[in-house]
Copies of this chain bind each other. A is one copy, B any other.
């Protein structure tokens, strides 16, 4: 590509996702100018030290001026305030998108502020790690991952197409989806798993009969798998819980119902029921590996990691 996809891109928020976008934009030469904005001066200074962009501006309204693409990458609870702050400064014809894990709430918060001459197309790259902050990002975070766009009624087809090409240039597979459906899908594939992981790590930490040091020492027998999700950014996850409440509560109710039934099978020694469930779930992982969404190595490939990189 001789001509970058966008003349000027502004990133508002420069955590794990924002800084990964910045790195991928630079690597792919997707903009002639990349402006980075974040509220915290120390984070902005760090982004500058890392050389993530071409300009670093604390004030979001100033940062988005003349930008052809604005990507808001903040905890979902902060998206309304950002939209309000930048609305008047947005260039006519600009594309405004976000990366939030809840879409109904983000649309409700941002949409009212967006001027008619701006293409607001909410999005959500399903990518991340348990790390956070500008140092945690890397250019191939989105490689082979899905990015879900949830266009609102009346979205401009050319703008949607351009944003799709942007995410494809970052390495993503792009899918469009209704915002409500997105929120239900994410509640089960992402939000419930994180909440369950946070919960079990909390439970383990509160026992009288087993000490915390025992839990840590013997964690490789299963527990440690949960600690990765439970090490995710607390602000981000607090906001997700508060902003996708209905779908999360529904999934939690189903999970608890199923768990009560499993608990009953254990209490009454119903080995056949346990065996059937435990057999069926095995095939799900196989399908995920076949779909290219997981490594086909035991233990997540932990054993394939050279010892020298382990502590």
Q: Which residues of A pack against B, CB within 8 Å?
A: 126-131, 136, 138, 140, 145-146, 148, 181, 184-186, 188-207, 209-210, 212, 214-232, 234-235, 237-239, 241-242, 245, 248-249, 251-252, 254-256, 258-260, 262-263, 265-267, 269, 271, 274-275, 277-282, 284-305, 309-311
**Given A225-B229, A294-B224, A302 and B299 touching (CB < 8 A)?**
no
- B293 near A302 with CB under 8 A, answer no
In the bound complex, residues from chain B placing their C-beta under 8 Å from that of A269 are 242, 245
In the bound complex, residues from chain B placing their C-beta under 8 Å from that of A241 are 265-266, 274
A146 nearest CB neighbor, chain B only: B218
- A220 near B305 with CB under 8 A, answer no
Identical chains bound together, number? 2
**Given A185-B218, A189-B219, A282-B230, A259 and B262 touching (CB < 8 A)?**
no
* Cross-chain pairs A/B with CB under 8 angstroms, 11 sampled: A127-B221, A138-B303, A185-B210, A196-B259, A198-B262, A199-B258, A199-B262, A212-B284, A232-B278, A234-B274, A239-B271
In the bound complex, residues from chain B placing their C-beta under 8 Å from that of A234 are 274-275, 278-279, 282
Chain B nearest CB, measured from A77 CB (Å): 8
In the bound complex, residues from chain B placing their C-beta under 8 Å from that of A196 are 196, 200, 226, 259
In the bound complex, residues from chain B placing their C-beta under 8 Å from that of A192 are 200, 203
- A204 near B227 with CB under 8 A, answer no
- B193 near A274 with CB under 8 A, answer no
Chain B nearest CB, measured from A67 CB (Å): 28
- A295 near B302 with CB under 8 A, answer yes
In the bound complex, residues from chain B placing their C-beta under 8 Å from that of A310 are 292, 295-296
A189, A195, A196, most chain B CB atoms within 10 A: A189
In the bound complex, residues from chain B placing their C-beta under 8 Å from that of A202 are 258, 262, 277, 280-281
Chain B nearest CB, measured from A143 CB (Å): 9
How far is B148's CA from A277's CA once the two chains are assembled, in angstroms?
A: 29
